[in-house]
Amino acid sequence: MTLPRESVPALQLENLTKVFQVGRASHGITAVNSVSLTIGRGEVLALVGESGSGKSTIARLIAHLHNPTSGKVTINGRLIPNDLRGAALNTFRKDVQMIFQDPYGSLNGLNTLEYILSRPLLIHKVATRQSVHAQVCALLERVGLAPGAVWAAKKPHELSGGQRQRVVIARALATQPNLILADEPTSALDVSIRLDIMNLLLDLKEQEQLSMLFITHDLSGARYMADRVAVMYTGYIVEIGPAQQVIDHPQMPYTQLLRAAVPKPEEGRHAEAVEARGEVPDLTNLPPGCPFEPRCPHARAACREALPGMYEVGPDHFVRCILFDPALIAPLSMSP
């Protein structure tokens, strides 16, 4: 039986794992570890976490730029095989588009915007030779670069960082994708234009019913953009739930630490010193227990024994921390 398209998630990851083998080391780097999540149709999921936690690797696995070591990627209800090629790979690339952090590196400065945008339109047969100019102009205007005909004649070196990122977004939209993987799309931009780009992405999401994975270091950006937020630490999802709950009321001690590190000048609050104790574990040799245990202010012996499961702490809100294990909470709350 085929389910109606609306009820199938745009993206589903099941136990996705990526181990990079580096040189002759006996243990590879486990960059992504048993990640399971879904993104609904028209939903934005933000992925946050410190540098090296595995965020970009997840996006690259979804975009089929890496093959997973194990686990499954399902897009619009279709399982993506590891040996995707030919016409199937072309269709996949049309549906799933990536926007990278660096708008300077991702556009070839020698070509006009007309050329840059007409290529995906023609390759994916979204436009014909006759219609392509009008479609390039329409795309430019959709990302706020009007009149399109004037912008189409320009080259990337004539554009500011924000304008370039608009072109990168237009290029991603050219193939009429339904899933966008945006890897830190605003972090290379001036603070003053970050909000413009986030608003553009949100407008496009509304108009086109786009689903989006939005990767960011910035918790307030995640809160602004996303319906739900997933927090990563050493390749694991450690907290996932509605954006407002995860950012404003984080439950996992790691998310609480991330949040404490955000300065709030308007409240006269500087970033609190992040706990100095303990270190991030070695990704080539992860401990058997909670990876955050060495840094966690609430750590106890049981945290070192086994990787905690994900416990539900509120509607659609899950945390990987034994503090929320019902089997532990019950005896604790009954003790005098």
Ligand X SMILES: Nc1ncnc2c1ncn2[C@@H]1O[C@H](COP(=O)(O)OP(=O)(O)OP(=O)(O)O)[C@@H](O)[C@H]1O
- Using CB under 6 A, list all residues that contact ligand X: 20, 22, 29, 31, 49, 51-57, 283
Strands 311-314 and 317-319, by their bridges, are antiparallel
Q: Pick one of Mg ion, ligand X, none as the site partner of residue 52 (Cβ within 5 to 8 A by kind).
A: ligand X
Nearest approach in angstroms of CB 323 to ligand X is 25
* Shortest distance in whole angstroms from residue 184 CB to Mg ion: 6
Stretch that binds Mg ion, among 51-59, 75-83, 163-171, 312-320 (CB under 5 A): 51-59
- By beta carbon distance, the residue nearest Mg ion is 56
How far is it, in rounded angstroms, from Cα 287 to Cα 110? 49
Q: Supply the minimum distance, in Å, between the C-beta of residue 304 and ligand X.
A: 22
Rounded to 5°, angle at Cα 261 from 259 and 267: 80
Where does the chain show beta strands of DSSP type E? 11-20, 29-39, 44-48, 70-75, 78-79, 96-99, 179-183, 211-215, 228-233, 236-242, 311-314, 317-319
Pick 57 or 178: Cβ nearer ligand X: 57
Smallest separation, CB 234 to ligand X (Å): 9
Least Å distance between CB 136 and Mg ion? 30
Which C-beta is closer to ligand X: that of 105 or that of 314? 105
CA Rg value for the chain: 22
**Which amino acid, 96?**
V
The crossing angle, in degrees rounded to 10, of helices 161-174 and 191-208 is 20
The residues facing 48 across adjacent strands are 231
- Side-by-side strand order, sheet with 11-20: 29-39, 11-20, 70-75, 78-79
Question: CB-wise, 66 or 155, nearer to ligand X?
Answer: 66
Q: Which does 120 bind (CB under 5 to 8 A by kind): Mg ion, ligand X, none?
A: none
- Which residue from 56, 118, 186, 255 is in contact with Mg ion, where contact means CB under 5 A? 56
How many residues sit in the footprint of Mg ion (CB under 5 A)?
A: 1
57 near Mg ion, judged by CB under 5 A? no
Q: Which does 213 bind (CB under 5 to 8 A by kind): Mg ion, ligand X, none?
A: none
Sheet architecture: strand order including 228-233? 96-99, 179-183, 211-215, 44-48, 228-233, 236-242, 317-319, 311-314
CA max distance for the chain: 80
* 57 binding partner (options ligand X, Mg ion, none; Cβ < 5 to 8 Å by kind): ligand X
Beta carbon of residue 103, minimum distance to Mg ion (angstroms, whole number): 16
Query: Is 216 near Mg ion (CB under 5 A)?
Result: no
Q: Which is nearer to ligand X, 199 or 220 (CB)?
A: 220
**2 or 51: CB nearest ligand X:** 51
Which CB sits closer to ligand X, 200 or 283? 283
Q: How far are the Cα atoms of 10, 39, 44, 70 from residue 210, in angstroms, in the given order?
A: 9, 11, 8, 27
Minimum gap (Å) between residue 328 Cβ and ligand X:
30
Residue 234 interacts with, from Mg ion, ligand X, none (CB under 5-8 Å by kind): none
Q: Which of 108, 106, 105, 73 is nearest to 92 (CA)?
A: 73
Q: Report yes or no: 167 and 145 within 8 Å, Cβ to Cβ.
A: yes
Residues that bind Mg ion (CB under 5 A): 56
